[in-house]
């Protein structure tokens, strides 16, 4: 990493949409002087419904842009992008540190009392080989009930955090976990903590919910070296509608006055235009 005070020295964070804001919120608290850049690929959200090839292509294009803007650390604040793209990102940028986001199977194994664990994830994460490998490596003696939750991310992206329709979806997806008698459940998507009370209500008070965003932020902090005199900054970009995302940020997170910028790849060969 460079050792000067270049204004381009940043931490880049990306997600398919708004879920990664749960990680960004932790990063802002832990690194109050850092320059942070967040890119929400809302035009392609949710990644959970996309093919692995499409997820990988989007992740590479976004990372190229973040590097061009000065990112010296990339946080993949998306379980689905981590599952399908982080190996390709590390191969393409071997000198660049990446922090991924994965379901905390190992902490869940440590937390469970009866050996039955539930995992709520996007369909793409639920079907990924990377998740299967995590379970095989860390949960050899436990039962892990993996539930893909189609449609939940779409509602969260739309700002629907407490409607009867969303509650019905949450109840539907929690039913297999209840039948299995899990005592520990993982929120396997960074969007899901935004509706944590709904998951808890559907699973019941005796099920412990585990989140991952704090651990992801701590890992990033451990790889980052703050410099004396750095000026904090937060840049938000989206491949979707900046006005819609700005309203979501103000309403859900309470972050006022942020200037959300539009972004899109300049061409199909992976090169990007700068933010407009």
54 located within any domain: yes
49 among the known binding-site residues?
Answer: no
275 among the known binding-site residues?
Answer: no
Q: In terms of domains, do 205 and 251 share one?
A: no
Q: Pick left, alpha or beta for residue 109 (phi over 0 → left; psi -120 to 50 → alpha; otherwise beta).
A: alpha
SS3 (DSSP) at 22: helix
Q: In terms of domains, do 31 and 64 share one?
A: yes
CATH of the domain at 200: 3.40.50.1860
Q: In terms of domains, do 74 and 196 share one?
A: no
- Of 69, 149, 174, 189, the catalytic one is 189
Q: In terms of domains, do 204 and 122 share one?
A: yes
Question: Residue 274: which pLDDT band, with cuts at 50, 70 and 90?
Answer: very low
273 located within any domain: no
269 located within any domain: no
Q: In terms of domains, do 93 and 218 share one?
A: yes
Q: Which of 173, 194, 211 is the last residue of a domain?
A: 211
Residue 267: per-residue pLDDT: 55
Query: Is 189 designated active site?
Result: yes
Position 163 pLDDT exceeds 80? yes
Q: Which domain holds residue 162?
A: 105-211
Q: In terms of domains, do 58 and 134 share one?
A: no
The predicted model gives 13-24 an average pLDDT of 96
Q: In terms of domains, do 175 and 250 share one?
A: no
- Of 69, 78, 149, 174, the catalytic one is 78
14 located within any domain: yes
Whole-model pTM: value is: 0.86
Helix pair angle (21-30, 213-223), 10° resolution: 50
Q: Give the chain's end-to-end CA distance (angstroms, integer).
A: 28
Position 51 pLDDT exceeds 70? yes
> What are the tens digits of pLDDT across the range 132-151?
999 999 999 999 999 999 99
Position 20 pLDDT exceeds 60? yes
Give how many domains the chain has, as a whole number. 2
Q: In terms of domains, do 190 and 257 share one?
A: no
How many percent of the chain have pLDDT more than 70? 93
Asked if residue 194 lies in contact with residue 18, where contact means CB atoms within 8 angstroms, the answer is yes
Closest CA to 89 of 102, 72, 78, 74: 74
190 among the known binding-site residues?
Answer: yes
- Indicate the average pLDDT of the chain: 91
38 among the known binding-site residues?
Answer: no
Q: In terms of domains, do 141 and 182 share one?
A: yes
Closest CA to 187 of 211, 216, 154, 206: 211
Query: Is 78 designated active site?
Result: yes
Q: Which of 175, 191, 211 is the last residue of a domain?
A: 211
Position 118 pLDDT exceeds 60? yes
Question: Residue 2: which pLDDT band, with cuts at 50, 70 and 90?
Answer: very low
38 located within any domain: yes
Residue 227: per-residue pLDDT: 78
Q: In terms of domains, do 45 and 176 share one?
A: no
> What are the tens digits of pLDDT across the range 211-270?
889 999 999 999 998 877 778 899 999 999 999 999 999 999 999 999 999 998 865 443
223 located within any domain: yes
239 among the known binding-site residues?
Answer: no
Q: Per DSSP, what are the bridge partners of residue 246?
A: none
**Quick one: how far is CA 219 from the chain centroid?**
14
Q: Which of 211, 226, 245 is the last residue of a domain?
A: 211
Question: Residue 161: which pLDDT band, with cuts at 50, 70 and 90?
Answer: very high
Question: Residue 272: which pLDDT band, with cuts at 50, 70 and 90?
Answer: very low
> What are the tens digits of pLDDT across the range 79-117?
999 999 999 999 999 999 999 999 999 999 999 999 999
Position 73 pLDDT exceeds 90? yes
Alpha carbon distance 70, 155 (integer Å): 33
3 located within any domain: no
47 among the known binding-site residues?
Answer: yes
268 located within any domain: no
Question: Comparing 180 with 2, which gets the higher pLDDT?
Answer: 180
Q: In terms of domains, do 95 and 123 share one?
A: no
């Amino acid at each position: 990493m460079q050792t000067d005070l270049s204004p381009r020295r940043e931490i880049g964070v990306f997600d398919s949409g708004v879920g990664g804001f749960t990680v960004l919120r932790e990063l802002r608290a832990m690194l109050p002087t850092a320059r942070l850049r967040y890119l929400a690929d809302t035009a392609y959200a949710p990644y959970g419904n996309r093919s692995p090839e499409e997820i990988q292509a989007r992740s590479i294009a976004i990372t190229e842009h973040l590097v061009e803007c000065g990112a010296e650390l990339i946080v993949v604040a998306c379980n689905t992008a981590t599952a399908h793209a982080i190996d390709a990102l590390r191969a393409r940028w071997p000198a660049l540190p990446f922090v991924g986001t994965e379901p905390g199977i190992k902490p869940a194994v440590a937390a469970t009392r009866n050996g039955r664990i539930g995992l709520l994830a996007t369909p793409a994460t639920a079907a990924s080989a990377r998740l299967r490998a995590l379970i095989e490596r860390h949960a050899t003696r436990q039962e892990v009930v993996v539930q893909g939750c189609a449609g939940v991310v779409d509602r969260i992206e739309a700002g629907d955090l407490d409607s009867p329709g969303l509650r019905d979806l949450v109840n539907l997806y929690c039913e297999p976990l209840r039948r299995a008698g899990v005592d520990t459940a993982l929120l396997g998507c960074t969007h899901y903590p935004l509706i944590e009370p709904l998951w808890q209500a559907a699973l019941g008070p005796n099920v412990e919910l585990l989140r991952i965003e704090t651990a992801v932020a701590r890992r990033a902090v451990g790889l980052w070296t703050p410099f004396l005199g750095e000026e904090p900054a937060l840049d938000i970009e989206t491949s979707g509608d900046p006005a819609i995302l700005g309203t979501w940020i103000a309403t859900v997170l309470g972050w006022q006055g942020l200037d959300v910028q539009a972004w899109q790849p300049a061409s199909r060969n992976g090169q990007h235009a700068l933010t407009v």
